[in-house]
Amino acid sequence: MNNLFWALLLLFLVGVLLRMDWVYYLVYVIGGMWVFSHWWIKRSVGKLDVQRQLADHAFLGEKIPVEVRFTNRSWLPLPWLQLQELVPLDLKDALDYSMVISVGSRAVVEHDYTLYCKRRGYYALGPLSLRTGDLFGFVDTVWQTNQIVNITVYPQVLALHKLGLPSSAPFGVIASRQRLFEDPARLAGVRAYTNGDSQRAIHWKASAHSDSLLVKKFQPAIALNVALVLDLNREAYPHVGEYGLSEWAIVIAASLASHMVQQRQPVGLITNGLDVLSDQLAAALPSRNGQGQLMSILSLLARLKMHVFAQDLATWLPNQITHLEWGTTLIVVTPQLDEQALWVLHNAYRRGSQVIVLLCAPQIDLEVLQSRGKKLGVAIYKTIWEKDLEALESLGTG
Amino acid sequence: MVEIAQTNKTAEHTADEKVLASSLLERSVPYDQPWLTSLLRPVLIAILVACLDLVLMACIARIEPALAGNYVPIILFFSIVAVLLGCITTTFLAQPAHRHRRTPLYRLAEVGLLLAVTRLAIWLVTGTLPAPIEFLVHPLSTLFDGLFIIGGLIVIFSWMMATDLTRDLLRLALQADELYAMQTDRIGEMVRSSHTDRPSILRAVANRWIAGGMLMILLAASLRLGPPTGNGLFALVQQNIQPSVIGAVVIYFLTGLLLISQGQLALLRSRWSIDRVPSAKNVLRNWPLYVLALLLIIGIGATLLPFGGTFYLAQIVGGFISLVFNTLFGIFQFFMMLLMLLVSLITGKAPPPAPEQAAPPPPPPPVIDAQPQVSHLPVWAGGALFWLIMALLLGYAAYIYFSGRGMNFAWLKALWQSLRERWLQWFGAYQQWQMTRIRAAADRALAQNKTGDASFGAWRQSGDLDANQRVRYLYLSLLHAAAQVGLPRAEGETPLQYAPRLAKEIASLHNDRAESGNLDRKDVARSERPPLAGAENSQSVEQTDKTLEQTPVTEQASQNLATLQDVQALTDAFIQVRYAQIPVETTEVSRLQQLWEQIKRQLSL
């Protein structure tokens, strides 16, 4: 419609040269319509507020309702507004997230849709693409909102009995007589309060004295912290089905963490997976208890991605577990276990840890490995698909 | 007979099949019913073409006034009929079920019918129905006379324009293949593309509309009776031209805008449908309302704007064009002369004599002076407003146009920035100079205040002060008076610090004066008292002194308090005006004036 500009000029010249003043009326009307349309859309776009309201986390299989609110602060309406939401494929609940709406003057219009969390992960929702124009086709404006919302879809959490782990160790502490992890009678000092510490452990007098929260440190009677080690090195996984197996490993880790927290046991996570948030190796989460710790672990598990890591498990693990307290239960979720890794775990066992290996991928000579592990103090279980879990369940209950 | 019956049966069967197929086609093949069956579009096209016809007929009536009677209205009527017929038949033929009728023969028959009816109507209206023998003797001249040729051309032109516009606008509708793909392709595996370039179709319609509008304006220019009689407000009704022509042109342009808006809606609708973007109902519902509202607002607003003031520009532009023309013509003449000279040299014949000067053109018709309008505005106001609006409108339109072509106007922005910086620099220098001047004046005033204070006195005498200035004046008067009696405000002493000190000093000054006054009063009382003897006299003296001493003690305390309050009130008012920038009431100023008078009395001024 850019020809209209030349038509406008022509009309003006005709009016000037032929001294037909009434032609200026047409210049006013057509030019006014053209100019006003541009100004209108420019102003309305500037006065349009877009807000997206949604929960930024969800569990697998859940649906997240999203409400997009358009607030027009201008007296001029927007005759049409086409919106296009950029939704990750794993969150799509509909074929397309587009809509055309009309926003009246000083009106609020809400557009609702849902997201379906089909796969765990850390997703970016948006940006929201918007397009509008005038009534005559003079102006067509496309822009994007800068609001990108990150959504965390936690991994699937299974009930522990489905994992079929025997109840003697490491979780046997709940049923055993060894209930004390730290002896409150033997104060070892104080340390700064961190998230997840019990309020009962706060040393109020020392906190008041130092003007910061301090927590009592007790000498451990029996340390029963649990450290989950998740191996997400792509080299360790078989090429066929590596994605499914790595996801299964994450599900196992999430389920274990959830179970530990339910049993009020401190649990931490050590992994060599890639954190997509920082695009670096995921930082280890020290052992803590409480729902906050569980959410931290689940969030980290949601963000993890398998990648090619230069160090194998036997090389990487020793540095990660040196700081573990005596008596910590070490649960290693890995697709394969070789001789070197077994000896590394044996060393951990010798330092006082209980070591359990959950193999989430098929392993050659598993029975031989299990018998060797038993001799070296490393319990090895096969936790590959559902039928293995059922078998382990029967083993555990039997 | 059996064969005939069989043939008949076959024919009936074929006809039934055709009807069945047609009905099935109608049911199975989708087409854009809302757009195809819309009434608004043909109505708008009819109005558009009718406006064009009206101006054309006005021209014809101007050229041949004898035709203005019945001929022009009947041609106009048939033009409108042709437009409606063209719209309806084109829409009808666009339906998939009627594709088999979409042949040139069908359209030819339609035009033929229109022309035949027009021919008959012209004969009847003009009363020139020929005798039957004329059809045989002079068939061509009887049928195709001048009136019919002109009328027929206008009718055909109207029909063609309506048909073309309708066809183009129908192409904006969702096509059957697109609708079929939308219905069958539920999960989007088919490619979402359209073979119809709708924006270019709409552009073509707009171009046709603009071209038609220009033609109308040029035709209207030929119909002008004289220059406009008014250039001010509501000048649209003061043009020296047939109102119906101006109305037709204006309606043509407004209707065209409406039609383009409808086309834009169809374009968007088809795009959304092809992209499977659902649209809210109020988008389509509110569309015509918004368009009408916008057209009304801008249309009415434009009638209130001035139209005139272009005469001098026309002269300038005309002069420029004449200059260019004369220059080119002179160059042409020069080369022609050279050519003639060359020809004469070759042939040996003298060059032909120069043609005689053409007769001078007739003098231009006298310009009818516009009736003077009674207005309170200056005569140049309308023209100035006109030029301002035109400059803004065309300037902004040019900015939009060239911005759309990728021009970023960096040089213009740089120029603006440079001018702005220069202005800020100048203005900053001016402000700095003002500050220096004010400071110097203040210093001078301070110096004069210390020495004798002449300028304050001059300011003090100025009577036209507002309430705030009066408050400041009263406080400064207080300072001035206090300084004169030896109670000046110290260097760095704030008004609030100074007020209690000043009140105390005034009170002590007043007390001193009162004590000296008491002494005088005692002497007077003693002198006025009748002479008594002995102890009686001494007792009476003591009583008088006591009475005279006790009475001022209570008065002095209350007087001191009142002084403090007065000074404090004046100081507070000054602080409020000077530092808090809070204006004071006029009544408050009167009260402060009274307080100042009291303080002044105490200072014995």
pLDDT at A295: 94
> Considering only CB atoms, which chain B residues are within 8 Å of A96?
188, 276-277
User: What DSSP assignment string belongs to A215-264?
Assistant: EEEEEESS---EEEEE--BGGGS-STTHHHHHHHHHHHHHHHHHHHHHTT
Instruction: Tell me the pLDDT tens digit for each residue of B78-118.
Output: 888 999 889 888 888 887 777 788 888 888 999 999 999 99
Nearest to A102 among B202, B231, B283 (CB): B283
- Of the candidate ranges A206-215, A318-327, B474-483, B530-539, the one whose mean pLDDT is the lowest: B530-539
CB A277 within 8 A of CB A121: no
| Nearest chain A Cα distance for residue B262, angstroms | 8
Burial of B390 per CB tally in 10 Å (0-12, 13-18, 19+): buried
> Considering only CB atoms, which chain A residues are within 8 Å of B268?
80, 100, 133
pLDDT at A305: 92
Instruction: Tell me the pLDDT tens digit for each residue of B352-394.
Output: 555 555 555 555 555 555 454 455 666 666 677 777 887 888 8
Distance CA B577, CA B571 (A): 10
Q: What is the mean pLDDT of chain A?
A: 85
Distance CA A120, CA B368 (A): 86
Q: Which of A13, A23, A28 is best to mutate for the B interface (most B CBs within 10 A)?
A: A28
Instruction: Tell me the pLDDT tens digit for each residue of A76-113.
Output: 999 999 999 999 999 998 888 999 999 999 999 999 99
Partner residues linked to B349 by β-bridges: none
pLDDT at A70: 94
> Considering only CB atoms, which chain B residues are within 8 Å of A1?
203, 206
Q: Is the peptide bond before A127 cis (omega within 30 degrees of 0)?
A: yes
Q: Any CB–CB contact under 8 A between B213 and chain A?
A: yes
Query: Given pLDDT bands bounded at 50, 70 and 90, which one contains residue B529?
Result: very low
Structure tokens, A108: 């609020």
Q: Any CB–CB contact under 8 A between B529 and chain A?
A: no
**Of the candidates A307, A271, A275, which has an alpha carbon nearest to the alpha carbon of residue A150?**
A275
> Considering only CB atoms, which chain B residues are within 8 Å of A33?
257, 294-295, 298
B221 with A14: Cβ contact below 8 A: yes
CB A1 within 8 A of CB A133: no
Partner residues linked to A215 by β-bridges: A191, A202
- Using the predicted structure, report yes or no on whether residue A341 has a pLDDT greater than 90: yes
| Nearest chain B Cα distance for residue A88, angstroms | 17
> Considering only CB atoms, which chain B residues are within 8 Å of A79?
283, 286-287, 290
pLDDT > 70: percent of chain B: 71
Q: Which of A13, A136, A138 is best to mutate for the B interface (most B CBs within 10 A)?
A: A136
Structure tokens, B90: 């084109």
Q: Any CB–CB contact under 8 A between B237 and chain A?
A: no
B197 or B319, which is more confident:
B197
User: What DSSP assignment string belongs to A275-331?
Assistant: ETTTTEEPPPEEEE-SHHHHHHHHHHHHHEE-B--SS-HHHHHHHHHTTPPTT-EEE
CB within 8 Å of B46: residues ≥ 6 apart: B80, B83, B84, B87, B162
CB A55 within 8 A of CB A86: no
Q: Given the structure tokens 């014995």, which residue do they identify?
A: B604
pLDDT at A8: 87
What is the enclosing helix (H) or strand (E) of B555? Answer: helix B534-578
A12 with B394: Cβ contact below 8 A: yes
B279 with A24: Cβ contact below 8 A: no
The number of C-alpha atoms within 13 Å of A303 and in the hemisphere containing its C-beta is 22
**Of the candidates A265, A261, A264, which has an alpha carbon nearest to the alpha carbon of residue A295?**
A261
Q: Which of A6, A19, A37 is best to mutate for the B interface (most B CBs within 10 A)?
A: A19
Instruction: Tell me the pLDDT tens digit for each residue of B580-600.
Output: 888 888 888 888 888 888 888
B556 or B428, which is more confident:
B428
Q: Any CB–CB contact under 8 A between B229 and chain A?
A: no
First-residue to last-residue Cα distance in chain A: 81
Predicted TM-score (pTM) above 0.90: no
What 3-state DSSP class applies to A32? helix
**Of the candidates A232, A237, A392, which has an alpha carbon nearest to the alpha carbon of residue A316?**
A232
Query: Given pLDDT bands bounded at 50, 70 and 90, which one contains residue B350?
Result: low
| Nearest chain B Cα distance for residue A119, angstroms | 21
Taking only residues 386 to 415 of chain B, the set having a beta carbon closer than 8 angstroms to any beta carbon of chain A reads 386, 389-390, 393-394, 396-398, 400-401, 404-405
A169 or B276, which is more confident:
B276
CA B22 remoteness from chain centre: 55
Distance CA B352, CA B187 (A): 86
CB within 8 Å of A189: residues ≥ 6 apart: A216, A217
- Using the predicted structure, report yes or no on whether residue B488 has a pLDDT greater than 60: yes
The number of C-alpha atoms within 13 Å of A364 and in the hemisphere containing its C-beta is 3
**Of the candidates B481, B446, B494, which has an alpha carbon nearest to the alpha carbon of residue B596?**
B481
Q: Which of B394, B403, B405, B407 is best to mutate for the A interface (most A CBs within 10 A)?
A: B394
| Nearest chain A Cα distance for residue B177, angstroms | 22
Instruction: Tell me the pLDDT tens digit for each residue of B213-266.
Output: 999 988 888 877 655 555 544 445 455 677 888 889 999 999 999 999 999 998
- Taking every pair of C-alpha atoms in chain B, what is the biggest distance, in angstroms? 181
Structure tokens, B135: 């059809």
pLDDT at B304: 80
Q: Any CB–CB contact under 8 A between B301 and chain A?
A: yes
Distance CA A267, CA A252 (A): 14
> Considering only CB atoms, which chain A residues are within 8 Å of B291?
135
> Considering only CB atoms, which chain A residues are within 8 Å of B257?
29-30, 33, 136
- Using the predicted structure, report yes or no on whether residue B19 has a pLDDT greater than 50: yes
Distance CA B450, CA B360 (A): 87
Distance CA A81, CA B280 (A): 10
Over residues B438-456, mean pLDDT: 70
**Of the candidates B382, B375, B376, B381, which has an alpha carbon nearest to the alpha carbon of residue B228?**
B382
Distance CA B563, CA B557 (A): 10
What 3-state DSSP class applies to A5? helix
Instruction: Tell me the pLDDT tens digit for each residue of A276-296.
Output: 998 999 999 988 888 999 999
B290 with A77: Cβ contact below 8 A: yes
Nearest to A136 among B261, B282, B307 (CB): B261
Over residues B339-348, mean pLDDT: 76
Instruction: Tell me the pLDDT tens digit for each residue of A40-54.
Output: 998 999 999 999 899
Convert B59-85 to b/e letters by CB count within 10 Å (16 or more is b).
bbbbeeeebeeebbebbbbbbbbbbbb
pLDDT at A303: 94
A396 or A306, which is more confident:
A306
Taking only residues 91 to 130 of chain B, the set having a beta carbon closer than 8 angstroms to any beta carbon of chain A reads none
| Nearest chain B Cα distance for residue A145, angstroms | 19
- Using the predicted structure, report yes or no on whether residue A326 has a pLDDT greater than 60: yes
Compute φ and ψ for B583, nearest 5 degrees.
-70, 155
For strand A57-59 and strand A149-154, is the pairing parallel, antiparallel, or unpaired? parallel
B401 with A2: Cβ contact below 8 A: yes
B400 with A5: Cβ contact below 8 A: yes
Over residues B127-148, mean pLDDT: 81
A114 or B480, which is more confident:
A114
What is the enclosing helix (H) or strand (E) of A67? Answer: strand A63-72
Cβ-based contacts under 8 A for chains A and B: 181
| Cα separations in angstroms, B112 against A258, B107, B154 | 87, 9, 14
* Closest residue, chain A, to B393 (C-alpha): A31
Angle, CA A10 vertex, CA A8 and CA A14 arms, to 5°: 120
Distance CA B83, CA B48 (A): 10
pLDDT at B68: 63
Distance CA A68, CA A54 (A): 9
- Using the predicted structure, report yes or no on whether residue B442 has a pLDDT greater than 90: no
pLDDT at A178: 43
**Of the candidates B271, B263, B277, which has an alpha carbon nearest to the alpha carbon of residue B175?**
B271
* Closest residue, chain B, to A95 (C-alpha): B187
Provide the 10 A C-beta neighbour count for residue B246. 21
Given phi > 0 = left and psi -120 to 50 = alpha, else beta, which region is A119? beta
| Nearest chain A Cα distance for residue B85, angstroms | 27
pLDDT at B440: 87
pLDDT at B535: 46
Query: Given pLDDT bands bounded at 50, 70 and 90, which one contains residue B563?
Result: confident
> Crossing angle for the helix pair B198-222 and A3-17, nearest 10 degrees?
0
**Of the candidates B264, B218, B270, B259, which has an alpha carbon nearest to the alpha carbon of residue B241?**
B218
First-residue to last-residue Cα distance in chain B: 145
A19 with B311: Cβ contact below 8 A: yes
> Amino acid identity of A131?
R
Q: Given the structure tokens 């598990």, which residue do they identify?
A: A301
> Considering only CB atoms, which chain A residues are within 8 Å of B368?
none
Instruction: Tell me the pLDDT tens digit for each residue of A122-164.
Output: 999 988 999 999 999 888 999 998 778 899 999 998 876 655 4
Distance CA B14, CA B18 (A): 6
pLDDT at A343: 93
Q: What is the mean pLDDT of chain B?
A: 76
The number of C-alpha atoms within 13 Å of A148 and in the hemisphere containing its C-beta is 11
**Of the candidates B288, B283, B266, which has an alpha carbon nearest to the alpha carbon of residue A100?**
B283
Distance CA B593, CA B385 (A): 51
Structure tokens, A304: 């993890």
Compute φ and ψ for A208, nearest 5 degrees.
-65, -35
Distance CA A81, CA A87 (A): 19
Over residues B559-575, mean pLDDT: 85
pLDDT at A155: 93
A10 with B214: Cβ contact below 8 A: yes
Query: Given pLDDT bands bounded at 50, 70 and 90, which one contains residue A272?
Result: very high
pLDDT > 90: percent of chain B: 9
> Considering only CB atoms, which chain A residues are within 8 Å of B218?
14
Distance CA B143, CA B146 (A): 9
